[in-house]
Amino acid sequence: MSLCFWYPKTPPAPTAGRQTCFLLPMVAKRFKELLGFLKTGIMMSQDLKATAKQETEQPKRKGGRPKSRVRRETHVKVRLTATEHFMIGSKAREAGMRVSDWIRAAAKSARVVARLKPEDLQLMRMLSGLANNLNQLTKLAHRDGILSIARKADSTLTEIFDALKYFNSHDRQDT
C-alpha cells in the first residue's frame, strides 16, 4: 500500500465477509454513483442494441465475387492435337475470351450438317457410276465422233444434275 497525501492510492483488497471501504467518504459516494450509472448505462445500451438489431435484420454481407446465376456442372472432355489446341487458344485470345467460353460460343453458333443416310449413300454411289459412264462416253465421242454418243452423254448429264440438286436441297442443311 502506497501513501499519497496520507491516504492510500488503492483501496485495500477485500477480505472474506468484509466490504472494501474507502477512507474518504466523498470518494466512496462518487464511486457508488459511478457504478450505478455504469450498470444502468450498460443495460440501456444492451436494450438499444437489441431493438436496433430487430429493426434492421439484414443478412450479413459476405465478401468476394458474387455467385453466377447459371451453374455449369457438366463437364465435356475433348481430345485435341497440339495444333488444334494452339489454334483454339489463339482464336480465344484474339476474341478476348477464355478457351472454355470460346468453345461454348463456337458450339452454339456452329452449323452442323448431318451424316449421309443409307439412301443418300446409295445415291452417291449411283452419282459416281454416272460420272464414270459420262467419262467413258466422252472418250468414245472423241475417238469415233458419233452423234448418238452425244445424246447419251446429255441424258447422263441430266441425271447427274438432278442428283446434285437433291444434295443441294435444304433438307440436310442444319440438324
62, 72, 101, 113, 124 from 69: Cα distances, Å: 17, 10, 16, 33, 49
pLDDT at res. 47: 58
Tell me: the pLDDT tens digits for 89-143?
999 999 999 999 999 999 998 887 778 788 888 888 888 888 888 888 778 777 7
